[in-house]
A and B are shown apart, each in its own frame.
Chain A
């Protein structure tokens, strides 16, 4: 009876090590998005550079909401005064992916970015970032021509007016009646709204970052085993007395009956545990064989190194996890990005 206890305690130590290992892996993976992006909230307009007045913003919000209601395509406007060292196009696509503008799998988002630095007169830029799905409808050349000929001349004189013009021009493109994507996009929006309506989570709670399934497996197996260990240790100690008592048939006090029940439970648990432990030992053996083999063949050790990986590939799947402000039927608040992605479509121009 002593030996299984010995192995089991070393088993816990092993689990502890595994748990630590897994935590270390996650610590590396969760810090994927280090870049600072402004938060979108439930608005279509983010005005970090403070070009627009609040009346402008209200107007733009309702215009953009109308565009979305009509065409299903999401368009947002961002102004900012700090590019954080990125090129405007580079920043734009990252921002689009971060906000998930547009619908998942259709990728019909559009972002109008306006960069201005109040301290200097040059280097001001305006850019349109077009989601994958809209690239056919708004090719780069068209985006550039429109920006260059119609938007930047106005932008130069009056950025406020320029932004409004740009929203109008690109809004007209998005609400074009010959748009083939419209029905798909509207259906996706409907589905998204339905999902949100039945979603028990409040809308401003972001979903948890995806976690490697192994974490849960180890948490459940390991955590469960620790509890089992604590319970069974106690039972094992209190077992000695009741065993002598239970050999005495006849009258069993409720207390003894309980103790017998626990003793049986313990043996069941012990069997399950030893099975798990056997499997684990098998994998450990395989692992050690492989590590020895890899040492023998002098394989290059040490994984990728360098920067951390680019976000949740494991588990969750970031397609449908978009969440944002509350929609709630009101006309000019934003339903949030719905998983759209960006691949570098669009154009930029100086103004």
Chain B
């Protein structure tokens, strides 16, 4: 009996390992990295959209040069959106980023609605290709955002529910991550027409 009692620390070791591993020692960093990778995807897709815009603006300008308001609004919204240095662990910068991207979505929506008045533009192969790329990118953005939010939700659930919450606090001091919320009005339905939306970049009506 005393021998057993003396050897009980050795029996304790495997038990401790098992209990520790069930406290999220590995799961928490893995979930965090997953969410961060998904965030990188979101940023990539937004960057991809930003890269498309100059070409798109140039093409539209060729047919609809007197739609200057819309064109400048897009250019300015793009400049604003790309200027933001977003950090995933800073909710404020996330919010700013979401807002700027939402405004850009809105400006783009107005630009794409212009095409209805220009049959020639709609027949332009280059424009059609760009439009397809833009639609594909918007689609990717939606998916990337959804994937990111799912990853964040998994991470947050992991960090806040019972067995893992212990490890999360003791070993990592883990804080819940911020999901991406489309803050600007109607930013979800990006390419749709939205005339009564408060356009942020319209005050500067500098006609080039």
Interface residues of A (CB under 8 A from B): 21, 25, 89-90, 93, 139-141, 143-145, 148, 213-214, 217, 221, 267-268, 271-272, 274-276, 278-280, 283, 286-287, 290, 302-304, 306-307, 309-310, 313-314, 343-347
Contact = CB atoms under 8 A, between A and B. Distances in A.
Given A217-B18, A310-B150, A303 B157 contact: yes
Closest 10 CB pairs of A and B: A140-B136, A144-B132, A344-B140, A141-B129, A310-B150, A303-B160, A344-B139, A214-B22, A344-B143, A271-B4
A290 B1 contact: no
Contact of B8 (A90, A139, A143, A271): A271
Contacts of A93: 139, 143
B156 A303 contact: yes
Nearest to A286: B166
B139 A271 contact: no
Contacts of B22: 213-214, 217
Contacts of A275: 8, 11-12, 15
A314 B132 contact: no
B130 interface: yes
Contacts of B154: 309-310, 313
Contact of A347 (B136, B150, B163): B136
Nearest to B22: A214
A259 to B, nearest CB: 17
Contact of A304 (B4, B18, B142, B153): B153
A175 to B, nearest CB: 23
B142 to A, nearest CB: 7
Contact of B4 (A148, A267, A314, A346): A267
* Best-buried of A213, A275, A280, A287 by chain B (most CB within 10 Å): A275
B16 interface: yes
Interface of B: 1, 4-5, 8, 11-12, 15-16, 18-19, 21-23, 27, 31, 34, 41, 125, 128-133, 135-137, 139-140, 142-144, 147, 150, 153-154, 156-157, 160-163, 165-166, 169-170
Given A141-B136, A286-B166, A290-B166, 20 more contacts: A25-B161, A25-B162, A93-B143, A144-B129, A144-B132, A145-B129, A213-B22, A217-B18, A217-B19, A275-B12, A275-B15, A279-B19, A283-B19, A290-B165, A303-B157, A303-B160, A313-B31, A344-B144, A346-B136, A347-B135
A93 to B, nearest CB: 6
A17 B8 CA distance: 26
A59 to B, nearest CB: 29
Contacts of B18: 217, 221
Contact of B12 (A145, A279, A290, A345): A279
B12 A314 contact: no
Secondary structure call for the A interface: helix
B24 to A, nearest CB: 9
Nearest to A272: B11
A141 B133 contact: yes
Contacts of A272: 11
A145 B128 contact: yes
B166 A287 contact: yes
B150 A309 contact: yes
Contacts of B170: 286
A139 B133 contact: yes
A343 B140 contact: yes
A274 B135 CA distance: 63
Contacts of A148: 128
21 contacts: A25-B162, A90-B142, A140-B132, A140-B135, A143-B132, A144-B128, A145-B125, A214-B22, A268-B4, A271-B1, A271-B4, A271-B5, A278-B12, A279-B15, A280-B19, A283-B19, A290-B166, A309-B154, A310-B153, A310-B154, A343-B140
A306 B157 CA distance: 11
Given A268-B4, A286-B170, A304 B132 contact: no
A283 B16 CA distance: 10
B136 A345 contact: yes
